[in-house]
Amino acid sequence: MRTRYTKRIDRANRTRSALARKSRGRLRLSVFRSSKHIYAQVIDDVRGVTLAAASTVDTALKGKLSKTTDAAAASEVGKLVAERAKAAGVEKVAFDRGSYQFHGRVKALADGAREGGLNF
């Protein structure tokens, strides 16, 4: 029997494999969303290295955010991960939404990363 967890993992794997076919070797901006926080990482899959990361639990955002569960917080995380990625020399990424729909907090994070200067 397929559980909710295995279905989520299968959706994420489908998204990631389609991204690998289409991205032509770009780095991956991966998103993880929990009920209380949102996390983003820029990952080089060839070397297996995380180049930049940001989240709502990051100390740089602690004073800025009134809530960690809304779209405004996700947008700030997107801007911060874009700033850190540009400092690491990354301009173009492929957006990996994982098993989540491109809607709400995930979309807000993507828009914030675009505002911060990342291209995808």
Report whether 110 contacts 95 (CB < 8 A).
yes
Residues 67-99: tens digit of each pLDDT: 999 999 999 999 999 999 999 999 999 999 999
Share above pLDDT 70 across residues of the chain, in percent, rounded to a whole number: 100
Helix orientation angle between 105-115 and 71-87, rounded to the nearest 10 degrees: 40
Nearest to 31 by CA among 107, 97, 110, 105: 97
Overall domain count for the chain: 1
Residue 75 lies in a domain: yes
**Residue 41: pLDDT above 90?**
yes
Residue 90 lies in a domain: yes
Domain region containing 60: 4-115
pLDDT in the model for residue 17: 93
Write the CATH number for 95.
Answer: 3.30.420.100
| Interacting residues of 64 by C-beta distance below 8 A, sequence separation 6+ | 76
| Interacting residues of 19 by C-beta distance below 8 A, sequence separation 6+ | 28, 94, 96
Residue 120 lies in a domain: no
**Residue 23: pLDDT above 90?**
no
Does the pTM surpass 0.85? The reply is: yes
